Amino acid sequence: MNAKAFKKAFWDKVGNFDQILPLLDSLHDTAFFFKDLESRHTMNNQRAVASARVASEAETIGKVGDEFWYSDRVALYRKQDQEVMRTGKAIINAMCPTPEIGSNTAIIYSKIPLRDKEGKIVGLAGVWRETDSMSSMPHSYSKLAGIAEYLHSQFAEPITVEELAARVGLSRSQFNRLFRKLFGLSPYDYLKSLRISAASKLLRETDLKTTEVALLTGFYDHSHFSKVFKDLMELTPRAYRKMHSV
1.10.10.60, 3.90.550.10, 2.40.420.20, 3.30.365.10: CATH of 69-244? 1.10.10.60
How far is 170 from 213, CA to CA, in rounded Å?
33
The C-alpha atoms of residue 207 and residue 204 are separated, in whole angstroms, by 8
pLDDT of residue 134: 57
Taking the CB of residue 169, how many other CB atoms lie within 10 A of it?
A: 9
Q: Average model confidence (pLDDT) for the chain?
A: 87
The residue type found at 170 is L
Average pLDDT estimate for 151-159 = 91
- What's the pLDDT tens digit per position in 34-48? 999 999 999 999 999
User: Confidence band (pLDDT; 50, 70, 90) for 135?
Assistant: low
Q: Where are the alpha helices (DSSP H) in 98-168?
A: 142-154, 161-167
- Looking at residue 94, what is its pLDDT? 83
- pTM value? 0.72
Task: Report whether 168 contacts 143 (CB < 8 A).
Answer: yes
pLDDT digit string, tens, across residues 175-190: 999 998 888 788 998 8
- Average pLDDT of the residues in 9-15: 84
Comparing 214 with 51, the larger pLDDT belongs to 214
The rounded distance, in Å, linking the Cα atoms of 32 and 17 is 13
The span from the CA of 242 to the CA of 240, in Å, is 5
133: pLDDT strictly greater than 70: no
- Which pLDDT band, with edges at 50, 70 and 90, does 132 fall under? low
Kindly report, residue by residue over 81-117, the tens digit of the pLDDT: 998 999 999 998 887 755 555 556 678 889 999 999 8
| Distance set, CA 180 to CA 32, 58, 68, 92, 141 (Å) | 23, 34, 27, 11, 12
Statement: residue 244 has pLDDT above 60? yes
